[in-house]
Amino acid sequence: MIERYSLPEISDIWSLENKYNAWLKVELAVCSAYNKIGKIPDKSTENILKNARFDVAEIEETEKITKHDVIAFLTNVAKYVGEDSRYIHLGLTSSDVGDTSFSLLFRQALNLILSKAENLAESLMQKALKYKHTPMMGRTHGIHAEPITFGFKLLIFYEEINRGIYRLKKAVETVSCGKLSGAVGTFANVPPEVEETALEILDLKPLLSNQIIQRDIYAECFYVLASLGASCEKIALEMRHLMRTEVSEAEEPFSAGQKGSSAMPHKKNPIVSENICGLSRVLRSNLMSALEDIALWHERDISHSSVERIITPDSTILTYYILHQLTDLIDNMAVNEDKMLKNMQITKGVIFSQKVLLAMIDKGMLREDAYNIVQKLAHQAIQTETEFVILLKNNADVLKYLSEDEINNLFNINYYYKNIDFIFERSLSLFPVAPSCKAIVKVTLKDEVLDPQGKAVLSVLKSSGFNNIEDVRVGKHIELTIHKEKKYKRKEEKNNAEGNNAAGKIKNSNEYDSSNGGNNKYHGKNSKNQNIGELDLDKETLSKELKDISEKILSNPLIENFEIEIK
Amino acid sequence: MENKKINAGITVFPGSNCDIDVYYALKDVFNLNVTFLWHKDEFHNFKKYDFIVIPGGFSYGDYLRAGALAARSRVMESIKDYAGGGGIILGICNGFQILLESGLLKGAMLTNKSLKFECKDVYIKNTGNNNQNNPFTCLINKDAVLRLPIAHHDGNYFAEKKEVDYLFSANQIAFQYCDAAGITSDESNPNGSIKNIGGLFGEKFNILGLMPHPERASEKILGSDDGAKIFNSIIYYVKNK
């Protein structure tokens, strides 16, 4: 990917160094697996694990001669390991290492994208809540339809990005597979136990394979990226429409010193949105190539490899970049609430036409007749730029069914917003904003410290007749809500890079459910899907942190004790 | 050295309410050069301040524990460094609580034994016996009794017995609550403090935590000017050090 769109944290994943790192990880896992079945002596295994390393520049030099990257890599590692290197790569084919490590790298990239997508979802929800009650025109076919709120529009984006997050989590699970089954996958020269153990070390699942991992696995991931990109494109496209001069309801951030056009100094263009729309096209094209990689000759040909070398870094880097740009756009966009209101008024109140129609039918007019009258007056209102309500009040046929007061009452915008709270509540319960867990810290005075409050309560209890109470101690109950995903997932991601991958820590929804309270019906129904790929809470780290907070701030260890409970 | 050349700093936290009283006393009564130190700001020019007062009040509304949150503020990080370099610090009332919470003084404050906010004049006795060597009581005779006002809800000083014994042996107990005749007893203890402790030095005697308010008794017109003895001591010490 060209540098312009490459953020370092994700392009580093596709560096040569990180690729060789992943290869080495796979080779070492296989050595450990052979050691377990007694095929490699303990001492040699120890030596290999300790000394195996590589030098990227040296591998490049060797590759010029071998014209084969895996062989060049193995030659280089052998240089550092010495004689025991004969145990490395036993019975494997290049694709065993190449594909298994490819899964590791792809997973690493998807996890990084996942954290960016979560940031975007959070930004969208924050803005949706901010503009929950900001009226704006709903448009179908580009034409005024009925009123919505800007927050409602953003809420739809929020749910959609959350579906993208769900697909990403599934993709992480899908891509967490490897194969160490030899040249055509029949375990001819490598025992199945080795595959099993090595993949377990790498936190991958085995997959029935010929020479390679079947490409539908990766195509699925490319679909998830293309689809997420398309959702981002949809949001960006909306921004472009809202920023059009005639609409002017929202605007991209425009920084000091920024220039819109070399020719026209007045210009502020939706360049970020246009950029996102463009890059999303590339994600879709790459998906096409990924789908074409599924069909290969017999037990494998190598036509997929060149494609993947390009599209995998490109699609992951671009998706990450798109999410990054869009999050910044949402966080910093300018919203013109006045213009939103003004634009609603340019159609002279005809947006209430359905309400008028229904009211007239309700009062006994035939639907056909009512429709004709309302349509005629609505079109007239726009053509003559006269308020629709006035035309209605001047029409004898209308007045036969509706009084002036009744007509006035129909033009009430709040009618359209009566379910906005319900809509938000439902969304929030389907996709809780910040999955979090609770910790409770109980702080009590130490036994040897006099507790005058407790004494006072005790005396009241006694005078109220509760004579069997011997002592009362009053303490503090402090509840901490901890943002689970944001705070503790990064550690997991770091582990991924080192090989302790997430798959082993993926868990079912039960615990996550309870932390979210199960406080409404929607949550229960959907929680299972949502939580696929949910990363486990790092309780050890959390406990340490909570202990630290409790000792240093929440309690005074001189006079108080504390207890921590994580829920 | 003129008083004007003596520079005093006063910390200000959200909820400090004696900052202006201390400012008035130091600037208008003692004629010093006084600066406020905002809780969000660090300071590094330690030489600029001859001494710093952490005034009374209810920093952060006394939430969690009195002084607990202020003790974790940015200005307190600088104050800790300032103290480490021997800087003179007087913590009054909430300031005393903050000094305890920040670990600059030993011990902790509990709720008054009466469970009431105690607001009255009390007597305290100069217990420390190395008066000449510390900035706060160098002009006050040993066992001299001062009449100063208190106004607090959590002034019930506590430390483990072993710690209290050590503090006494190290002469770090500065003042004890007593009666007009200087006798310490439960009756003359307004808040239940262990051993009637009302004022405490740091181990290098450059820090004093004091529950009563000397700034509210710095002029005769206020009913007592016994508090002036403490400020005069500091001024004398700064001039002669």
Q: What value does the mean pLDDT take over residues A314-337?
A: 97
What's the per-residue H, E or C state across A31-45?
A: HHHHHHCCCCCHHHH
CA A254 to CA A269: how far, in whole Å? 9
**Tokens read off for A466:** 């509760």
End-to-end CA, chain B: 11
Task: Indicate whether A518 pLDDT > 90.
Answer: no
pLDDT of residue B129: 66
Point out the residue among A445, A452, A559 whose CB comes nearest to the CB of B113.
A452
pLDDT of residue A538: 67
CB contact under 8 A, B110 and A450: yes
Relative to beta strand A436-445, strand B173-178 is unpaired
pLDDT of residue A381: 95
Q: Is B93 a catalytic residue?
A: yes
Point out the residue among A448, A554, A558 whose CB comes nearest to the CB of B108.
A558
Q: What value does the mean pLDDT take over residues A14-23?
A: 96
Task: Indicate whether A39 pLDDT > 90.
Answer: yes
pLDDT of residue A535: 42
Q: Which residue has the tokens 């909570």?
A: A546
CB contact B114 to A (< 8 Å): yes
pLDDT of residue A521: 28
CB contact under 8 A, A558 and B113: no
CB contact under 8 A, B72 and A554: no
CA A453 to CA B112: how far, in whole Å? 10
Nearest-10 crossing angle of helices A420-430, A94-130: 150
Our CA-based measurement puts residue A472 at a distance from the nearest CA of chain B, in whole angstroms, of 15
Task: Indicate whether A412 pLDDT > 80.
Answer: yes
Element (H, E) at A440: strand A436-445
Interface test with B, best of A558, A560, A561, A562 (most B CBs within 10 A): A558
Burial A226-246, CB ≥16 within 10 A → b, else e: bbbbbbbbbbbbbbbebbeee
pLDDT of residue A17: 94
CB contact B107 to A (< 8 Å): yes
Query: Would you place residue A537 in the very low, low, confident or very high pLDDT band (cuts 50, 70, 90)?
Result: low
Interface test with B, best of A448, A453, A559, A560 (most B CBs within 10 A): A559
pLDDT of residue A441: 93
Question: Which chain B residue is nearest to residue A457, measuring alpha carbons?
Answer: B115
pLDDT of residue B128: 77
> Over the Cα atoms of chain A, what is R_g?
32
pLDDT of residue A516: 35
Task: Indicate whether A375 pLDDT > 70.
Answer: yes
Chain B residues close to A456, C-beta within 8 Å: 115
pLDDT of residue A488: 41
Q: Is the separation of the CB atoms in B113 and A450 below 8 Å?
A: yes
CA A170 to CA A182: how far, in whole Å? 28
Tell me how many helices (H) and strands (E) chain B has: 5, 11
pLDDT digits (tens, 9 = 90+) for A167-220: 999 999 999 999 999 999 999 999 999 999 999 999 999 999 999 999 999 999
Our CA-based measurement puts residue A480 at a distance from the nearest CA of chain B, in whole angstroms, of 14
Q: Is the separation of the CB atoms in A74 and A87 below 8 Å?
A: no
pLDDT of residue A256: 75
CB contact under 8 A, B101 and A556: yes
Among the listed residues B93, B101, B118, B178, the single catalytic one is: B93
CB contact under 8 A, B111 and A558: no
Q: Which residues of chain B have pLDDT under 70?
A: 129-132
Tell me how many helices (H) and strands (E) chain A has: 23, 9
pLDDT of residue A455: 86
pLDDT of residue A325: 97
Our CA-based measurement puts residue B226 at a distance from the nearest CA of chain A, in whole angstroms, of 32
Q: Which residue has the tokens 């520079």?
A: B7
Chain B residues close to A449, C-beta within 8 Å: 110, 158
3-state SS class at A209? coil
Q: What value does the mean pLDDT take over residues A413-430?
A: 92
CA A346 to CA A343: how far, in whole Å? 5
pLDDT digits (tens, 9 = 90+) for A229-257: 999 999 999 999 999 999 999 999 887 78
Task: Indicate whether A529 pLDDT > 60.
Answer: no
pLDDT of residue B132: 65
Q: What value does the mean pLDDT take over residues A69-98?
A: 94
CB contact under 8 A, B115 and A452: yes
Relative to beta strand A177-178, strand A143-149 is unpaired
Q: What is the mean pLDDT of chain A?
A: 88
CA A105 to CA B72: how far, in whole Å? 43
Q: Is the separation of the CB atoms in A356 and A411 below 8 Å?
A: no
Task: Indicate whether A433 pLDDT > 90.
Answer: no
pLDDT of residue A464: 84
Query: Would you place residue A490 in the very low, low, confident or very high pLDDT band (cuts 50, 70, 90)?
Result: very low
Please state which of the ranges A465-474, A521-530, A542-551 shows the lowest mean pLDDT.
A521-530
| Tally of residues, chain B | 241
Chain A residues close to B117, C-beta within 8 Å: none
CA B98 to CA B92: how far, in whole Å? 9
Q: Is the separation of the CB atoms in B174 and B201 below 8 Å?
A: yes
CB contact B80 to A (< 8 Å): no
End-to-end CA, chain A: 44
Chain B residues close to A448, C-beta within 8 Å: 160
Of the two residues A463 and A296, the one the predictor is more confident about is A296
Question: Which chain B residue is nearest to residue A452, measuring alpha carbons?
Answer: B113
Query: Would you place residue A432 in the very low, low, confident or very high pLDDT band (cuts 50, 70, 90)?
Result: confident
CA B229 to CA B218: how far, in whole Å? 8
Q: Which residues of A are catalytic?
A: 141, 261
Q: Is the ipTM value over 0.90, yes or no?
A: no
Most confidently predicted of A289-293, A485-489, A536-540: A289-293
User: Would you give the DSSP letter of residue B134?
Assistant: S
Global pTM? 0.59
pLDDT of residue A514: 31
CB contact B12 to A (< 8 Å): no
CB contact under 8 A, B101 and A456: no
Question: Which chain A residue is nearest to residue B100, measuring alpha carbons?
Answer: A556
At A464, which amino acid appears?
Answer: S
pLDDT of residue B175: 96
Chain B residues close to A445, C-beta within 8 Å: 110
Q: Is the separation of the CB atoms in B6 and B32 below 8 Å?
A: yes
What residues are paired with A178 via a beta bridge? A206
pLDDT of residue A268: 86
3-state SS class at B34? strand
Element (H, E) at A544: helix A539-549
pLDDT of residue A483: 65
pLDDT of residue A450: 83
At A466, which amino acid appears?
Answer: F
**Tokens read off for A267:** 């210009």
pLDDT of residue A563: 92
Considering only residues 126 to 155 of chain B, which have any Cβ-Cβ distance to chain A shorter than 8 Å? none
Task: Indicate whether A434 pLDDT > 80.
Answer: no
Q: Would you list which residues of chain A are within 8 Å, Cβ to Cβ, of chain B?
A: 445, 448-450, 452-453, 456, 553-554, 556, 558-559
Q: What value does the mean pLDDT take over residues A14-42?
A: 96
pLDDT digits (tens, 9 = 90+) for A108-141: 999 999 999 999 998 999 899 999 999 999 999 9
